[in-house]
Amino acid sequence: QQKTKIAPSILSADFAQLGAEVAAIAAAGADYVHVDVMDGHFVPNITIGPGVLKALKPHAKIPFDVHLMIAPVDPFVAEFAAAGADIITFHPEAGAHPHRTVQLIKSLGKKAGVSLNPATSIDVLDYLLPDLDLVLVMSVNPGFGGQAFIPSALEKIAEIRRRIDKVSVAQNGRVIDLEVDGGINAETARQAVAAGADVLVAGTATFKGGPAAYAGNIAGLKT
Ligand code: DX5
Ligand code: ZN
Cα-to-centroid distance, 11 and ligand 2 (Å)? 8
For residue 1, pLDDT beyond 70: no
Is 86 annotated as catalytic? no
> Which domain range does residue 176 map to?
5-222
Q: Considering the entire predicted model, what is its pTM?
A: 0.98
Confirm whether the ipTM is greater than 0.95: yes
Shortest-distance Cα residue to atom 4 of ligand 1:
145
Residue 152, marked binder: no
In this structure, which ligand is nearest to the CA of 134?
2
| Ligand 1: residue whose CA is nearest its atom 9 | 145
pLDDT in tens, 12-23: 999 999 999 999
Taking the C-alpha atoms of residue 208 and residue 211, their distance in angstroms, rounded to an integer, is 8
- Residue 181 among the catalytic residues: yes
Question: Ligand 1: which of 43, 140, 199 to mutate, judged by most atoms within 8 Å of the beta carbon?
Answer: 140
Query: Is 183 marked as a binding-site residue?
Result: yes
List 39, 177, 181, 198, catalytic entry:
181
pLDDT in tens, 207-218: 999 999 999 999
Whether residue 10 contacts residue 22, with contact meaning beta carbons closer than 8 Å, is answered with: yes
Q: Count how many domains the chain has.
A: 1
Burial of 96 (0-12, 13-18, 19+ CB in 10 A): exposed
Q: What is the CATH number of the domain that holds 12?
A: 3.20.20.70
Q: How far apart are CA 197 and CA 183, in angstroms?
A: 14
22 vs 40: CA distance, rounded Å: 24
